[in-house]
Structure 1
Amino acid sequence: MSTEPPLYLRVADELRARIESGELLPGTRLPSVSEISAQYGGSNPIATGAYKVLVDDGLVVSRHGAGHYVRSNETPELLVRRHRRRSEDSPFAQGAAEQGAVGTWRHESTTETATASVAGRLDLEPGEPVMHTSYTYLADERPVQIAESWEPLAVTGRSLIALPEVGPYAGIGVAARMRVIGIEVGDPVEKVRARLAARQEAQGLGMTPPGPVLAIERTYYDQATGRPVETADVVMRGDRWVAEYGQAPHGG
């Protein structure tokens, strides 16, 4: 009778050794379930079993639809927000990972009719249908940012990107999703101001008592037509974020 441990435990042990040795750094996105299955010649339950062990051990964080990440032992005190136009991954997840944190988020999407305010920002008539998505973004499972996003269903409604966080293009960010339907958006237009968090915002961000936030009104435009294709209200903890714009030239 063989005493060799099950394959899923051996896979977990190999990944654990790579994490504990520092080969896989905090924030690193780990191989997908299908990649693990192909590498070890097993089935998907082998990979999911291995990741469950690592999640239970506190070494890995799982984000539905976005994969598994090496957990950081210490979230950076200050997170830097940069624009990532060409990224095919979530800009938030990628940026957090580069700073040693695991970026995840919760979301809820509903079809609504555009209010006068949202319609004005999206160049629609009030009452036209939009997809409204509410987000809570977390760094190492601690809330650091919330957002309300609206997209005109006249643009996305007949495509696979209509639901931002469902389907084959879930979780890849606005620019990459719009590229799927042939729209290049470039950098968004943003209006940024500092203020105190409203009570509901403070609750969502875990701020007790309410403190300062960066409030950003963001709109993406189709570069070919000038049409707005997404607008959002983003609220970031003022004590956890610094926003960085532009890029220094490379030395000759």
Structure 2
Amino acid sequence: MPFGEQPAYLRVAGDLRKKIVGGELAPHSRLPSQARIRQEYGVSDTVALEARKVLMAEGLVEGRSGSGTYVREHPAPRKIARSGYRTIAGSNPFRQEQSDERAKGSWESRSEQEEASPEIASRLQLTVGERVMRTSYVFRSAGEVAMLSTSWEPLALTGRTPVMLPEEGPLAGRGVVERMAAIDVIVDNLVEEVGARPGLAEENLALGGVPGRTVLVVARTFYASGRAVETADVIIPADRNRVMYHLPVK
């Protein structure tokens, strides 16, 4: 193959992609069949199949058992605002996760104690197996799951205090900074790392059931005088969201 020339399946996928993005192939419409792709582009069955696989991997189309392959709907990406920590009046974990006063939605949470895994122990500066409080959140916007979040806090710090359960007690839902201040722990720093990976099966199911979806993971850790007091993973679909940071210039 000459330098710079694309394989046939990529050229076919590229043309179909243009039709999808340009609206010629509208959301929920059926993608041309393998036989039609073969005939229209003058390619083999193998090339037609590989082109469809590319579009599926990119999340542009989805297969429906016994029916065919259809163009997926792609709403305008939501902006997940991150702007450092601000105390937010009222109990609203959805807004606390997004750091956006306009953020609205509902959520469910569940807290339970567990032993720190090697990864969580490293993030919280604990010994593997130490007890932590794990809280899982499901956030919904307009009735659809928009975000998942799981946080971990060391029970050596919060155990047997009024803030042991993040969503129960006198400071339920008030956020890490306020809750820790109530037990005389002053949070003064946070670190966020943003990465992308394939969604786990249970994550994809919770986020809409699309297999192979890529998710963005915001790994966040709060510190008080260098001690990690809470760490969390915020998980959002990469194809429907953009993480937007507002940071002060000092």
Counterpart of 1:85?
A: 85
Deviations 1:165-187 (Å, cap 9, x if unpaired)? 11121112222222222223234
- TM-score after normalising by structure 2: 0.61
Structure 1: state its 5+ residue gaps: 1-74
Residue 167 of structure 2 aligns with an amino acid whose one-letter code is E
Counterpart of 2:246?
A: 246
Aligned mates of 1:166, 1:85 — CA distance in 2: 21
With 113-122 and 204-213 compared, the bigger mean Cα shift is at 204-213
Residues matched between the structures, number: 173
Q: How does 1:1-252 map to 2 (within 5 A)?
A: 77-89=77-89, 90=92, 92-93=94-95, 95=98, 98-99=101-102, 102-222=104-224, 224=225, 226-247=226-247
Aligned mates of 2:101, 2:198 — CA distance in 1: 29
Which one has the largest radius of gyration?
2
Q: Contact conserved, 2:137 with 2:148, CA < 8 A, in 1?
A: yes
Provide closer, same or farther for how the CA distance between residues 178 and 85 of structure 1 changes in structure 2, counting only shifts above 3 A: same
Aligned mates of 2:220, 2:84 — CA distance in 1: 14
2:245 counterpart SS class: coil
Residue 236 of structure 1 aligns with an amino acid whose one-letter code is I
**Shift, 1:229, TM fit:** 0.5
Residue 170 of structure 1 aligns with an amino acid whose one-letter code is A
Provide closer, same or farther for how the CA distance between residues 79 and 132 of structure 1 changes in structure 2, counting only shifts above 3 A: same
Aligned mates of 2:170, 2:234 — CA distance in 1: 25
Q: What is the RMSD of the two structures over their aligned residues, measured on CA atoms? A: 2.6
Provide closer, same or farther for how the CA distance between residues 218 and 149 of structure 1 changes in structure 2, counting only shifts above 3 A: same
Q: Percentage identity across aligned positions?
A: 41
**Shift, 1:210, TM fit:** 3.7
Aligned mates of 1:192, 1:141 — CA distance in 2: 26
With 175-184 and 229-238 compared, the bigger mean Cα shift is at 175-184
Aligned mates of 1:93, 1:216 — CA distance in 2: 15
Structure 2: state its 5+ residue gaps: 1-74
Aligned mates of 1:179, 1:138 — CA distance in 2: 29
